[in-house]
Structure 1
Amino acid sequence: MTDEDKKTGSNVAPLRAPRPCPECTRPSHREHYPFCSDRCRNVDLNRWLSGSYAIPVADDESKAADDDR
């Protein structure tokens, strides 16, 4: 509890535990959760929009079943 919380009588517990930012590993902030800042949030959004994040899929399901063996 900070000195300011003691003065105002505020003892609100955070909803989520701080986690490292997925982009830069600094502690996350409530306003930008799970990121630490708008910059890191926008970097992640840009990766989604540019197609950097993709789930690999097989065109032919029989080939996908053969690959698993």
Structure 2
Amino acid sequence: MFSKIEVNGKGASPLFKFLQKHKNTSGTLTNAIKWNFTKFLVDKDGIPRKRYSPQTSPLSMENDIKKML
């Protein structure tokens, strides 16, 4: 569960392939995940709804999370 995995390319984890395919938000030029601290907001049905940059503070995501509850 805590082993190193790839997030981009042919060897990417199925989870990250799914996230890249379903959520390319504005501000990103490609579906590639820039860094391992990129954050994704996924709804209760498992659909990615929003992508956040690695610099985004988790606390700044609070309103988006509350809207989805």
Give TM class, smaller chain.
under 0.3
Mark the structure with the bigger radius of gyration: 1
Higher RCO structure (Cα 8 Å, ≥6 apart): 2
Q: More helix by proportion, 1 or 2?
A: 1
TM-score norm. by structure 1 comes to: 0.25
Q: Which structure has the highest strand share of the two?
A: 2
